[in-house]
Structure 1
Amino acid sequence: MDGQSAPSSCFAASDEAKSKIHTTWEHLARSQVKRRRALGWLAAIAMCSLLWVGSAWPEASMENQGLEWLGLALIIVAILGRAACMLYVGGRKGSDLVTEGPYSISRNPLYVFSILAVLGIGLQTGSLIIGLILAGAAYLIFRWIVGEEETLLRLVFGASFDAYCREVPRFYPRWSLWRSPQHITVDLQGVWKTIRDALPYFLAIPVFELIEAAQQMGWVHVYVSLY
């Protein structure tokens, strides 16, 4: 789930409630596998499709270069943002509903930063439209899995989670809600793992540069040009 781990909170529930939570958790685990596969298919389809799709802006143009630099900035922000999220959830051991730091302004900040990363990756093509299409597809996948996660969180945390949902947006950050304790317990291993897992985002830069080079040399024909 997006930083929220529920199972260790199940011990306070009745046997019937724990059974329902366990069943829901197993369903969510299967859904997470589907989510990862969906993202994998999105990446594979995008890579194959973009061989024949290019930017309508010339490679050396200010627009093309500007979009690529913006994409790089978004990827960096996404990696740092995901690491910041783990600062707040890493030391909780899954026993609490995290509502502080990034989770005080968005219920799913990890997914928000992942969508930003996908947008940044798409912008490496030099096309805003391609970036928005990829980010939109990622948003739909994350929106689906969030619905699955919320079912479990509502079972485990009950009224407190409902109150959290009423106050904090599901995705789009509401900056005025920001709150953070003065001290937090940090799981450095979890933070580093989050950063390490996100580093492959940067592979989009050389991959799309190679695709653009192949298109310019005529090795691959561009059938669709998008701004």
Structure 2
Amino acid sequence: MSHMAAVSGRADAPRPSLDATWARLAKAQVRRRRALGVLVVAALVLLPWIGSAWPEPGWVNQGLEWLGLGLMVAAVLGRCACMLYLGGRKGADLVAEGPYSVSRNPLYVFSILAVLGIGLQTGSLVVGLALALAASLIFRWIVGEEEQLLRVAFGASFDDYCMRVPRFWPKLSLWRSPQHVTVDLEGLWKTVRDALPYFLSVPVFEAIEKAQEAGWVHVYWSLF
């Protein structure tokens, strides 16, 4: 979630309405995890039969894979930066500083970049963009659910925030940050730990490529 930690301590929110929204959001988050799980399973089932149209030793294929690795590293660092501003809050205010001053959902933006990077490990730009688009549709849906909760919790201040800051893609000119932030080390470590599975895509797709080259798996579609 992008701002959920900033809601829990809000004592003056309309409690029945907020509780009902929390319950709806909890169910939506379960569906989000299931949708992402379906996306992962579908990728693991389909991608062994899909190959890159770029030759494996070629600079385009290798460049896409290295670009994907860079995007995954950037996603991990970006998610950690979000936690620097989000994790140390007491839960009574709307987080609108650091990454949250340029995008209302930077955690999801970095997650989409990570999915794009994972897809590029196939050496195919089409595969990377297709996976990123699927993930962005899932996140766009859940953001709508989250915004209902934030609007109930913060009212006009959240509406003003929505008017100033883009929903997803950053507007860097809006950046603002306090000189000091309180860091939640446990939350920061959890963010790193949860993101480490991104890098499993490197050996997984390398193994798939080797299996394709050996003829153990037949490539039915070659995509650029």
**Do both share a fold (TM > 0.5)?**
yes
Alpha-carbon offset, residue 148 of structure 1 = 0.1
Partner of 1:117 in structure 2?
Answer: 114
Kindly indicate whether residue 83 of structure 2 is the aligned counterpart of residue 86 of structure 1. yes
Query: C-alpha root-mean-square deviation of aligned residues, in Å?
Result: 0.7
Partner residue of 1:130 out of 120, 127, 132? 127
Give the one of 154, 157, 179 matched to 2:154: 157
Quote the offset at 1:96 in angstroms: 1.1
**Equivalent-residue separation in structure 1 for 2:31 and 2:9 (angstroms):** 24
- The one-letter code matched in structure 2 to 1:141 is I
5+ residue gaps in structure 1? none
1:142 corresponds to which of 139, 144, 147 = 139
Contact 1:54 1:222 (C-alpha < 8 Å) held by counterparts: yes
What are the within-5 Å matches in structure 2 for residues 1-227 of structure 1?
1-5=1-5, 6-9=7-10, 11-13=11-13, 17-227=14-224
Structure 2: give runs of 5+ residues left out of the alignment. Answer: none
Task: Provide TM-score, normalisation by structure 2.
Answer: 0.98
In structure 2, what is the Cα distance between the partners aligned to 1:153 and 1:29?
14
SS in 2 for 1:35: helix
CA contact (8 A) 1:57 1:63 kept: yes
- What is the percent sequence identity of the aligned residues? 68
Q: TM-score, normalised by structure 1?
A: 0.97
| Alignment coverage as a number of residue pairs | 223
How much does 1:95 deviate?
1.6
Contact 2:3 2:94 in 1 (8 A): no
AA aligned opposite 1:124: Q
Distance 1:139 1:22 in 2: 27
Alpha-carbon offset, residue 12 of structure 1: 1.1
- What is the CA–CA distance in structure 1 between the aligned matches of 2:22 and 2:90, rounded to whole Å? 17
Give the letter aligned to residue 18 of structure 1. Answer: R
Report deviation, 1:93: 2.6
Q: Deviations over 1:134-176 (max 9, x none)?
A: 0000000000000000000000000000000000000010000
Q: Which runs of 4+ in 1 moved over 4 A?
A: none
